[in-house]
Amino acid sequence: MFFAHARRLFLPAIATMAAAAGLTLAAAQADAHSTQTFKVSAKLEKYAELAEIRSSCKGGPVYSLGTLNRWMIERPRHGFLRYGPAYRAKAQDCGGVTLWKRRLYYIPARKGRDRLSIRFPDDGVTVWRITVR
């Protein structure tokens, strides 16, 4: 009941902010609800490759770990993240433009299950479910 009431209160505010940014409410909600989930397994002494992070389609450098930290919804509890070296490659999702890319790695600290969620501005939410053996 409370959440339905809160949604009625905040939905107009979200629509106003989205309109100020030049988006429709449907576009803002669709972007907030698009979720990709990946399952990753790793061994305790080794790292696991999570993803290939690219710069925006407009160009520029790859997002830093500090920027990814600001975008994180759910941080890893039993490990930490590390970037690989930067390189240039063509991005198929940006029309074949050559962009800067880096690989994102998860380094486990103990056995168990972990979860990481990042909200990217152009791709929505990406969730990794990590199992460390």
Look at residue 58 in the predicted model and tell me its pLDDT: 86
Separation of alpha carbons 11 and 52, rounded Å? 34
C-alpha to C-alpha distance for 113 and 76, rounded to whole angstroms:
10
The Cα–Cα gap between 3 and 38 comes to 29
What is the dotted CATH code of the domain comprising 35-132? 2.60.40
Can you give the pTM of this predicted structure? 0.68
At residue 3, the pLDDT reads: 39
Domain ranges in the chain are 1-33, 35-132
* pLDDT tens across the length of the chain (133 residues): 443 444 444 444 444 444 444 444 334 444 445 788 888 888 887 888 999 998 888 888 899 999 999 999 999 998 999 999 999 999 888 888 999 999 999 999 999 999 999 998 877 899 999 998 8
